[in-house]
Structure 1
Amino acid sequence: MKRSLISAACCALLALSSPSLYAQANNPAAPVSGIDLKTLDPAVSPKDDFYGYVNGVWTRNTEIPADKSVWGTYIELREIAQGQLRGLIDATVKNPGKPGSEAHKIADLYTSFMNDKARNAAGFKPLHAELARIAAVKDKKDLPALLAYLQGNGVATPFSAYVAPDAQDPEQYTVNISQSGLGLPDRDYYLKDDDAKLHAVRAKYLKHIETMLAMSGDKAAGEHAAQILDIETRLAAVQWTRVQMRDPVKSYNRVDFDKFAALAPAFDWNAYFTAAGLAPKASSAVVRQPSFMTGFSETVAAVPLASWKSYLNWRIIESYASYLDSATVKERFAFDGTVLRGVPQSEPQWQLALRFTDNAISDAVGKRYVEMYLPPETRPRVMAMFDNFVASFKDGIEQLDWMGPETKKEAQLKLAALKPKIAYPDTWRDYSSMQTQPNDLIANVRAARAWSRQQNLAKLGKPVDRDEWSMTPQTVNASYSPALNAITIPAAILQSPFFNVKAEDAVNYGLLGITFGHEISHAFDDSGSQYDAKGRLRNWWTAQDRAAFKALAAGLVKQYGAYSPVPGYHINGELTLGENIGDNSGLSITYKAYQRSLGGKPSPVIDGLTGEQRLYIGFAQKWRAKLRPEAAIAQIKSDPHSPGEFRAKGTVKNQPGFYEAFGIKPGDPMYLPPEQRVIMW
């Protein structure tokens, strides 16, 4: 594949994992620190508040942009990637090529989103056919086919059905059924009557539903809004908590299609599975939350059909609201953006159009992104760094004093089988069957959703594609898949500010290298550790070692549960456990990998800082962030990641190397007694 080069700022080479490679990019006699020295606060001691020491100046001088709920290093990199994508798509719109080509489809998707004149003229008319379909329903027995139809069009219903690798047989795909159907971020927003903030959000949500229904032409919007909130509250009451859903064993419940009637008798499952295209290709499904399905059935039986029709009308309107006329988009943002996340101003329309286009035809965009912005030598250099981390993790397993040899052997097998997916996939998805229109946004939304649904359903009966990517190259993130035992590191994360081509290794390890350590650690966190080397949900632990693991995990739960990012709201240590294990174990491995890269030599002192100090400073700079209070509450309630400040200072407190690097002693606020420190791996 031919790839062009861009400026060093956008296509910086990855952190180099050995002095010899490093010397190719820098003058080894005069290495440059990658630390952002301007953010260090000389008035704060790293022994007192490490996050404040590293990011104090930045925190004081930084305002969250009016169109953002959070701002920080991660978001800065995403903005860089967004700018790259904008240049890519602008060029494609100017030269879209032949009708039916991928380039032409990219142009159609983007320009249809930007066409305010067509969108405003259409108003709610593009939804009339679907709303009429609901109005025509005369009996609850018609609900199964209706839900299947809506799901096929990307509309959220009380449960979702999708195809994914079978956790008990990871070489085969299976149907999964999971709870869904709420409009607020978490069940607590419906059920916590003693929380004034959440109660206020719920009241505003009811008013928002009423307003949107009235805008659609509903003459009884107030009555119907109350019906909708009632159904969502009933569903919330029987949903599993996010902590409960983290248990992969309890979430694996194989149910034959002909047994669904016993689990949820008020719903015609045979009609649903046929209409959804799941039968006869499949004859069973994994039910993620069985008690929810029973509760859903009871809600179907208890709630009148008229209320269900109101609820499904709302699900359609909410699903398409971002793609309708300007007034509807404004009202949706007023609630979803301002009420839920505290954001006073919407992002510019080009950014929203870009995100829609990217999501709709991601691999076509990704292919061009790689061609424009990724140097061809990046991949092999990333692999060299990845191999360094795997070797360090391997040594770390052997050094564990809480794990016995039998479990260590299994852990080493899993680590050896770990598959890295770096920068971009080797095979791109084919969009030839997707039909797009230059000026019909809703038609394009439906086309993209239908294509995605058919791609997912087509997997049934086929062996699992272990090379498939769950992220796109242009995504600023990374992931681990327990079913595939694979790590994905997309191209967009492989650039400044996570990597600085002019900097020596220490800060690059702390900023970017931690991503490797973090994702590798996910293979061995509280959830990932229940899957074996082949991605099978299997207990490969001795009882004694598992008990030791749980005891260590309980220590992390307690640590993070004590942090309160917003007064009155504490981090849920159980919900964030997997990510906290990833951070703590990942930083431990990052330190070891950096030491390995030094080849036994002492780290260089630059700007008065040792390499070890720069590594930890880089790590804390990576997680610098400011959140609006509303966004912080939503994150605490629904996100398995701790807010950035606590990912930084909570993690370093557990690191022996941190104490040595900064001379942390008993009595210092950053000191944690050794018996309270937790390093899982």
Structure 2
Amino acid sequence: MKLKFNYLLLAASLGMSVNVFATEGPKPLKPKHKTATPPKKFIDPANMDPSVKPGDNFFEYANGGWLKQNGVPAKETRWGSFHILRQENIDKLIGLLNEVSQTSASQPKGSLKQRVGDLYAGGMDSLTIEKRGFDPIKPDLQRISRLKTLDDFINEFIYERVNGINSPIFRLGVEQDEKNVNKYIISIGQGGITLPDRDYYLKNDPRSKKAQEALKKLAVTLFTLSGSSANEAAKKAAIVYDLEYNWAKAQLSRVAMRDPHITYNKFLITDFERQTPHLKWSKMLPALNMSGQDSILVGQPSFFRVTDSLFAATPVAKLGVYLQWNILRGSAASLSSDFANANFAYVSALTGQKVQTPRAERMSTVVDGNLGELLGQLFVEKYFTPAAKQYMVDLVNNLKETLGDRIKRLDWMSPATKERALKKLNAFTVKIGYPDHWEKYDGLVINRDDYFGNLRAMNKWRYNFNASRLGKPVDKARWGMTPPTVNAYYNPTNNEIVFPAGILQFPFFDFNADDAVNYGGIGAVIGHEMTHGFDDQGRQYDADGTLRDWWTKDDADKFKSRADQVVKQYDAFTVLDTLHVNGKLTLGENLADLGGLNIAYEAFSKTKQGQSANTIDGFTPDQRFFLSWAQVWRSSQTPESAAQRILTDPHSPEQFRTNAPITNINAWYKAFDVKPGDKMYKKPEDRTKIW
């Protein structure tokens, strides 16, 4: 399924969805009774590096002490505030799963605890997984080896889709029509590659070549492990790489795909079929359980024309090799250790991760990713309080009112566009903690002694559930994240901001922390997601989520001019030797950081603490606000991970997420006495102001 959500951080849900709009000033954001926890320093000077001037490198000043004491653990590729909190949540999930799996075998078949517990227990049964080797995929490999014609190939592709088997070449799913958001439509998009981005295939620098060789080595190893001779495995790996290289050349870049109008291409199925005659959509779609439709959304039409030509020009035997490869690479991590180790060697080469993630952590992620709204019920029952939900409701109201005030005061936007912007803001839906109605996964059977079969069953259920939405009313109550997730998102087609329970913990917020810490943490997160509704992508969707222009041309031009300033600022940042931040790829997230921090600071300035000069641990309220922002982004990463993120991640590296927005906020200069001559200083007339 194509995801249009804008996330706080890339990393793949008891509360109500609430529509909120404040009509009064800031409300108290503390519960009536604080939780009984030992006193702690929410801004700890031991984590800082006072030898660095705040105006030279605020990220290092705020986090340097912590960075010196905390490297990247061997099982990770990045390590920081997000990852520590994620680890804490994983540990909580493992505790729940260990408990429930001990009794799940005796629970009623199909119950929450039976399915959650048995899925985890099956994944933890490494002895059985080891004993079975690659037996679970032998029928797939044998079936593919018998393909004779292109029709056989297409039929195999269809079979794999509807039966929950990792399926190659292109994305296929059912989603909201961006220009008719109350209806579902079939949507297809580009694919076909294994490496994280098309540029890995198209560049010849040392990093790209290393990734290419890692992919080829993985292919040779997996084909060899599944029975091919060394010579056969090498030939098959070459076939795979050649096909993937051609698909990489056909793909649009990530920057190009940031424009929703470029990826919105609606065709009558019969018309699109004429452009891709070997892909007989009018016959394929019903076989894919997608019947009764006359139209289809195509993300990248040129990719499918190239794919159709490749099908016509490539011998079926080679296409079959590619299908076998996709079975192998999609299954390797879930098979015996020789397959899993080969897969991890590939992952390690691309990311720098030194040791495999412990099995219990991997299995908790599998359960959360596949049965998240069953496991999520156990999580929120134990770890998410009504007080936390109410805190978020009040804080969202305060920030929503603040953003509204800021829109009204904009000096570059006309009254007509302001009115539409406020209409969109007032139409925001806010989801906090967990869904109103939990998904039951009706019909999904989990067997304790068949881990691989469970993975296939869950994939099959998910595919067919998605396909079954055609012709039904759009379900806007569904969530795109599970409750334990340490993240948040904005979904433009629903015009909604969503905050799972998992992120509502320190360093984002703590009931016992002062307002400066909470506004600099979770307040900026909320402002970030709100701003996504008005970033370079989100601003193109109107109040009901429709992809429709609501701007005057003059206002749009003024917005683009200011956004270009942000692109230029981030383009100048060097991440690793010659690698720079891609200002266009990261623009939406950078705008959200800038807007979110501004909104949070203005809302904080209305609080009692924000209007005082009282210090805590030697820091003024404004200093604590900005230090809280910085400690949220405290993070280190491997060089390999940093290089990969530059190509694939729409988020800037954490040090620039910390440093870049604050250089555009006057209050930061005053709080830390930043002056001309300091490395981060920007003249007042050069400071970017948008929302």
Provide the TM-score with structure 1 as the length reference: 0.95
Pair 1:385–1:298, CA change in 2 (3 A): same
Q: Which residue of 2 aligns with 1:472?
A: 482
Are positions 1:661 and 2:671 aligned together?
Answer: yes
Amino acid at match of 2:606: R
Q: Give the alignment partner of residue 74 of structure 1, picking from 74, 82, 107.
A: 82
Are positions 1:45 and 2:53 aligned together?
Answer: yes
Q: Give the alignment partner of residue 329 of structure 2, picking from 310, 318, 321.
A: 318
Is the deviation greater in 299-308 or in 384-393?
299-308
SS in 2 for 1:480: strand
Q: Which residue of 1 aligns with 2:279?
A: 267
Q: Distance in 2 between matches of 1:406 and 1:297?
A: 47
Amino acid at match of 2:633: W
Deviation, structure 1 residue 154? 4.5
Pair 1:592–1:122, CA change in 2 (3 A): same
Q: Which residue of 1 aligns with 2:319?
A: 308
Q: Which residue of 2 aligns with 1:120?
A: 130
**Contact 1:25-1:502 within 8 A present in 2 as well:** no
Q: Distance in 2 between matches of 1:547 and 1:188?
A: 31
Q: Which residue of 2 aligns with 1:7?
A: none
Amino acid at match of 2:549: N
Instruction: Write out aligned runs for 1:397-408 (5 A).
Output: 397-408=407-418
Deviation, structure 1 residue 465? 1.1
Q: Distance in 2 between matches of 1:215 and 1:447?
A: 25
Q: Give the alignment partner of residue 103 of structure 2, picking from 95, 100, 103.
A: 95
Deviation, structure 1 residue 399? 1.2
**Contact 2:26-2:398 within 8 A present in 1 as well:** no
Q: Distance in 2 between matches of 1:207 and 1:649?
A: 40
Q: Distance in 1 between matches of 2:479 and 2:527?
A: 20
Q: Distance in 1 between matches of 2:666 and 2:301?
A: 44
Q: Give the alignment partner of residue 68 of structure 2, picking from 60, 73, 77.
A: 60
Instruction: Write out aligned runs for 1:430-509 (5 A).
Output: 430-509=440-519
Q: Which residue of 2 aligns with 1:283?
A: 294
Uncovered stretches (5+) of structure 2, i.e. residues with no partner: 1-13, 16-24
Pair 1:490–1:678, CA change in 2 (3 A): same
Q: Distance in 1 between matches of 2:395 and 2:147?
A: 59
Pair 1:437–1:398, CA change in 2 (3 A): same
Q: Distance in 2 between matches of 1:23 and 1:144?
A: 59
SS in 1 for 2:392: helix
Q: Distance in 1 between matches of 2:620 and 2:525?
A: 22
Deviation, structure 1 residue 641? 0.6
Q: Distance in 2 between matches of 1:603 and 1:271?
A: 71
**Contact 2:445-2:457 within 8 A present in 1 as well:** yes
Spell out, residue by residue over 1:149-173, the C-alpha distance to the aligned partner (whole angstroms, 9 max, x if none). Answer: 2233141411111111110011111
**Contact 1:563-1:570 within 8 A present in 2 as well:** yes
Q: Distance in 1 between matches of 2:562 and 2:605?
A: 25
Q: Distance in 2 between matches of 1:49 and 1:18?
A: 32
Instruction: Write out aligned runs for 1:359-438 (5 A).
Output: 359-438=369-448
Q: Which residue of 1 aligns with 2:22?
A: none
**Contact 2:609-2:621 within 8 A present in 1 as well:** no
Amino acid at match of 2:51: A
Q: Give the alignment partner of residue 218 of structure 1, picking from 223, 228, 231.
A: 228
Deviation, structure 1 residue 218? 2.1
Q: Distance in 2 between matches of 1:406 and 1:238?
A: 41
Is the deviation greater in 302-311 or in 262-271?
262-271
**Contact 2:189-2:299 within 8 A present in 1 as well:** yes
Q: Which residue of 2 aligns with 1:237?
A: 249
Deviation, structure 1 residue 600? 7.7
Q: Which residue of 2 aligns with 1:352?
A: 362
Q: Which residue of 2 aligns with 1:171?
A: 182
Deviation, structure 1 residue 18? 5.4
Q: Distance in 1 between matches of 2:109 and 2:524?
A: 44
Q: Distance in 2 between matches of 1:212 and 1:564?
A: 37
Q: Distance in 1 between matches of 2:161 and 2:684?
A: 52
Q: Which residue of 2 aligns with 1:6?
A: none
Q: Distance in 2 between matches of 1:295 and 1:676?
A: 46
Deviation, structure 1 residue 132? 2.0
Spell out, residue by residue over 1:181-233, the C-alpha distance to the aligned partner (whole angstroms, 9 max, x if none). Answer: 2110100110002x111112202211111111110112311100000000000
Spell out, residue by residue over 1:453-479, the C-alpha distance to the aligned partner (whole angstroms, 9 max, x if none). Answer: 122111110111111111111111000
**Contact 1:25-1:501 within 8 A present in 2 as well:** no
Q: Distance in 2 between matches of 1:538 and 1:186?
A: 30
Q: Which residue of 1 aligns with 2:210?
A: 200
Deviation, structure 1 residue 25? 4.7
Deviation, structure 1 residue 133? 2.2
Is the deviation greater in 115-124 or in 220-229?
115-124
Is the deviation greater in 533-542 or in 172-181?
172-181
Deviation, structure 1 residue 299? 1.6
Spell out, residue by residue over 1:487-518, the C-alpha distance to the aligned partner (whole angstroms, 9 max, x if none). Answer: 11000111123223321110111121111000
Spell out, residue by residue over 1:559-580, the C-alpha distance to the aligned partner (whole angstroms, 9 max, x if none). Answer: 1111111111111110000000
Deviation, structure 1 residue 108? 1.4
Are positions 1:251 and 2:259 aligned together?
Answer: no
Q: Distance in 2 between matches of 1:38 and 1:500?
A: 20
SS in 2 for 1:163: strand
Q: Which residue of 2 aligns with 1:12?
A: none
Amino acid at match of 1:61: Q
**Contact 1:148-1:276 within 8 A present in 2 as well:** yes
Amino acid at match of 2:355: Q
Q: Distance in 2 between matches of 1:384 and 1:203?
A: 52
Give the paired residue count: 661
Q: Give the alignment partner of residue 590 of structure 1, picking from 591, 600, 605.
A: 600
Are positions 1:650 and 2:660 aligned together?
Answer: yes
Q: Which residue of 1 aligns with 2:343?
A: 332
Q: Distance in 2 between matches of 1:505 and 1:258?
A: 59
Deviation, structure 1 residue 450? 0.9
**Contact 1:32-1:606 within 8 A present in 2 as well:** no
Amino acid at match of 1:356: V
The RMSD of aligned alpha carbons is 1.7
Q: Which residue of 1 aligns with 2:30?
A: 22
SS in 1 for 2:185: strand
**Identical-residue share of aligned pairs (%):** 37
SS in 2 for 1:172: strand
SS in 2 for 1:175: strand
Is the deviation greater in 180-189 or in 591-600?
591-600
Q: Which residue of 2 aligns with 1:641?
A: 651
Spell out, residue by residue over 1:383-406, the C-alpha distance to the aligned partner (whole angstroms, 9 max, x if none). Answer: 000000000000010111111111
SS in 1 for 2:221: helix
Deviation, structure 1 residue 21? 4.4
**Contact 2:30-2:391 within 8 A present in 1 as well:** no
Amino acid at match of 1:252: Y
Amino acid at match of 2:273: A
Instruction: Write out aligned runs for 1:497-576 (5 A).
Output: 497-576=507-586
SS in 2 for 1:433: coil
**Contact 1:34-1:502 within 8 A present in 2 as well:** no
Q: Distance in 2 between matches of 1:399 and 1:143?
A: 60
SS in 1 for 2:575: coil
Deviation, structure 1 residue 660? 1.9
Deviation, structure 1 residue 142? 2.5
Spell out, residue by residue over 1:564-601, the C-alpha distance to the aligned partner (whole angstroms, 9 max, x if none). Answer: 11111111110000000010111010101111233883
**Contact 1:151-1:160 within 8 A present in 2 as well:** no
Deviation, structure 1 residue 431? 2.0
Q: Distance in 1 between matches of 2:613 and 2:450?
A: 59
Amino acid at match of 2:564: A
**Contact 2:516-2:609 within 8 A present in 1 as well:** no
Is the deviation greater in 218-227 or in 68-77?
218-227
Pair 1:119–1:23, CA change in 2 (3 A): closer
